[in-house]
Structure 1
Amino acid sequence: MSDPAQETSGDTDTRLRYRLIHDQLKSAIALGRIAPGLVLLEGPVARIFGTSRVPVRKAFEMLHAGGLLHTFEGRGYLVAHPDGRIPDPVRAPLSEAALGFEEAQAPLELPSNSERIYHALEAAVSIAVAFGHYRIDESLAAEVFGVSRGAVREALSRLRDFGLVEKSAYSHWLAGPLTARAVAQDYELRVLLEPAALRAGYAKLSRETIDAACDEIERAILDPDSTDADGLQQLETTLHVDFLQHAPNKKLLVTIDRALMPLTVNHAFFNAFNLHPELATLIEHRAVLFALRDADIDTAARALLLHLHAAQKRTLQRLKVLAVLPEPDLPLYMQRIV
């Protein structure tokens, strides 16, 4: 999100290339339009989507984390079998039809420079806020990344929408410090608003979407070590963003979005230490999703509430761990405010 006006429009144009590729491939696999065992390679898929290999690689990694793709001794990934078996490789010519598309896909017209730097900025800010108060030098960031200041500004605006940065009265970009009080305030908002958003939008959640999420969480519970920081972030996004987006009150959703900083910081924490999700987190997710699958919205809302309270305690514990660590080396554009 780079503009409040986008809250009332479709989000397709603002989603990153890798998310678009991931979602289209995931849908095609779920519908059985891609045969189990088909070998997917970055190059052919990139050509079909009209993009570079980088977002394709990211999409493949996310699908692998979700159990929809398998690695094997050859190049690329195998499309998983619905029953979990690892199929034999099928090396068939890849085409739009093989991917379930009726016609060639147009190139994904998205702001490539902003996309390219967004995750690097997000990672730097997410780590920095746990260690103090920082100013982000827009000009220096543009120089470091080799992009325009406009691209940096667009990426920082998206981070502002998620509460990671703010703009001072003098138009300086500021980040941090992340305090226990700030975390508690974010969770206080989420405890009040997320169950309400889930209730309000539940009727528009498709059975297919709920079943797919249940399958993903079950795979993660069976093998937590197979879920890395990115995989966990996707599970969190499914529950705390995607499943709430059907609520009709867009102001409610904007407020929730701006209280999601703990999710981003937790992602940075798991990434920095190469950690896998705690089993308790996954079981809490399952309780919400299974209740939704059983059409029991009251139980689902209560389970979501319990999960948020438990997640707050875990996030505060991680803050304590970060507090005793030495300040990491940060990019030059992150300038500490004494």
Structure 2
Amino acid sequence: MAVDRTMAKERAEVVETGEARPLYLRIRDQISGAIAAGRLPKDALLLEGHVAGIFSSTRTPVRQAFALLETEGAIRRFDGRGFVVGRGRGAPLRIALTSDMFGDGEEAQPLRKAPAWETIYEALEREMVHLSVFGRHRINEVELARAKGVGRQVARDALTRLENLGIVEKDERMRWTVVPLDEGRMRDLHDIRVALEPVALRQAYPFMPEQERTAMTARLRRALAGYPDLSLEEMDGMETDLHITLLGHCPNREILIALRRARFMLNVSKHIMGVSHVMPKDEPFIAEHLTVFAALEVGDVEGAAEALRHHIAVSLPKVIGRVAEFRATHRPEVPGYVMAAG
């Protein structure tokens, strides 16, 4: 039953690869084995993106694997980006990570087959979110494929992923369009999150691994102490921890599907804040997340659900303000594959 209750993202990974074990655990085991065998030397620097590339993974399961390894004492944080191998206070050893370091004497095999659309997705998502703030635009699928240097099917798969998140849609003539993001839509999406995320938390609680939750709490405490000296990657990681990874233990798949489009607002915050990387004067959510985790720690599920509801509710004016400021101070860079809707 435990496998059946894994996170929504991991379910997709399991279906795709045919593996019964969550991807982040397999990555954790590979790294742990490499450290124990000495293939990853003490103080070696580990970065999410580099490790994800070696295993043909996205960053999310790598981030989860790092969190477990940190809790186990196999890796540690330092005053910089990423983790270093082992305990102590040695300076990071910046070496080139190679696949044979993770492969028990031979080149490590990718733990999943990376979909081709992933190669263009992150940049495409950022472009589409920025354009959504300025109204509806039409996307030429053929020109998108040409601009990104991929086949048309790859471009279509990336757009379909964006469609699942409500960032793009097809109009009445089956043409791809960017869905406009105005204040009304932001309020509608927040209403969905306020209503459903507390329900998902209540249902997910019995299936949350304690070790995972502890690692997330520790990450929040370090971030609160170090704010505002945080990277966008760290900020996005903490949002992912609570709103996607932890709630992903909810066994009600229909709730998770309904929340998928509403979580578009997390992408908005990430990409809008990412334009300038100017942190708000007051930390935006870390203390509120800690309130949720503190209640979970003592088994107060209803208190945690109410804290989560409050956190989402009070975040709406902040997001609306960021989007309004972005709209007033920036002009969209319109790629050649995008044109005015009409």
- Scaled by the length of structure 1, what TM-score is found? 0.78
- Whole-angstrom CA distance in 2 between matches of 1:197 and 1:264: 20
- Whole-angstrom CA distance in 2 between matches of 1:87 and 1:313: 43
- Aligned counterpart for 2:78 among listed residues 67, 70, 76: 70
Partner of 2:178: 175
- Scaled by the length of structure 2, what TM-score is found? 0.77
Q: In 2 relative to 1, CA 98–216 (structure 1 residues): closer, same or farther, beyond 3 Å?
A: farther
Kindly indicate whether the alpha-carbon contact (under 8 Å) linking 1:229 and 1:275 is maintained by their aligned counterparts in 2: no
- Whole-angstrom CA distance in 1 between matches of 2:158 and 2:111: 18
Q: In 2 relative to 1, CA 94–149 (structure 1 residues): closer, same or farther, beyond 3 Å?
A: closer
Partner of 2:296: 292
Kindly indicate whether the alpha-carbon contact (under 8 Å) linking 1:118 and 1:155 is maintained by their aligned counterparts in 2: yes
Partner of 1:39: 44
Kindly indicate whether the alpha-carbon contact (under 8 Å) linking 1:21 and 1:49 is maintained by their aligned counterparts in 2: no
Kindly indicate whether the alpha-carbon contact (under 8 Å) linking 1:133 and 1:174 is maintained by their aligned counterparts in 2: yes
Partner of 1:3: none
| Amino acid aligned to 2:255 | L
Kindly indicate whether the alpha-carbon contact (under 8 Å) linking 1:139 and 1:149 is maintained by their aligned counterparts in 2: yes
In the alignment, structure 1 segments of 5+ residues that lack a partner are 1-6
Which digits, 9 at most, give the CA deviation of each residue in 1:74-126, with x for residues without a partner? Answer: xx963374xxx633557999899986979974224434531110011101001
Aligned length: 315
- Aligned counterpart for 1:317 among listed residues 293, 318, 321: 321
Q: CA shift at 1:184, angstroms? A: 0.3
- Whole-angstrom CA distance in 1 between matches of 2:105 and 2:296: 33
Which digits, 9 at most, give the CA deviation of each residue in 1:32-57, with x for residues without a partner? Answer: 96999431368xx76994559xx78x
| Amino acid aligned to 2:145 | A
| Amino acid aligned to 1:255 | A
Q: Give the stretch that moved more between structures: 152-161 or 324-333.
A: 324-333
Partner of 1:303: 307
SS of structure 2 residue aligned to 1:225: coil
- Whole-angstrom CA distance in 1 between matches of 2:15 and 2:134: 30
Which digits, 9 at most, give the CA deviation of each residue in 1:224-257, with x for residues without a partner? Answer: 2332222211111111111111222211110001
Residue correspondence of structure 1 range 227-246 to structure 2 within 5 A: 227-246=230-249
| Aligned Cα root-mean-square deviation (Å) | 4.1
| Amino acid aligned to 2:131 | A
| Amino acid aligned to 1:319 | V
Partner of 2:187: 184
Q: In 2 relative to 1, CA 138–48 (structure 1 residues): closer, same or farther, beyond 3 Å?
A: closer
SS of structure 1 residue aligned to 2:329: coil
Q: In 2 relative to 1, CA 28–232 (structure 1 residues): closer, same or farther, beyond 3 Å?
A: same
SS of structure 1 residue aligned to 2:274: helix
- Whole-angstrom CA distance in 2 between matches of 1:201 and 1:183: 26
Q: Give the stretch that moved more between structures: 181-190 or 89-98.
A: 89-98
Partner of 1:12: 13
Q: Give the stretch that moved more between structures: 146-155 or 33-42.
A: 33-42
Q: Give the stretch that moved more between structures: 295-304 or 272-281.
A: 272-281
Kindly indicate whether the alpha-carbon contact (under 8 Å) linking 2:137 and 2:178 is maintained by their aligned counterparts in 1: yes
- Aligned counterpart for 1:110 among listed residues 100, 108, 113: 113
In the alignment, structure 2 segments of 5+ residues that lack a partner are 1-7, 17-21
| Amino acid aligned to 2:305 | A
- Aligned counterpart for 1:206 among listed residues 209, 218, 231: 209
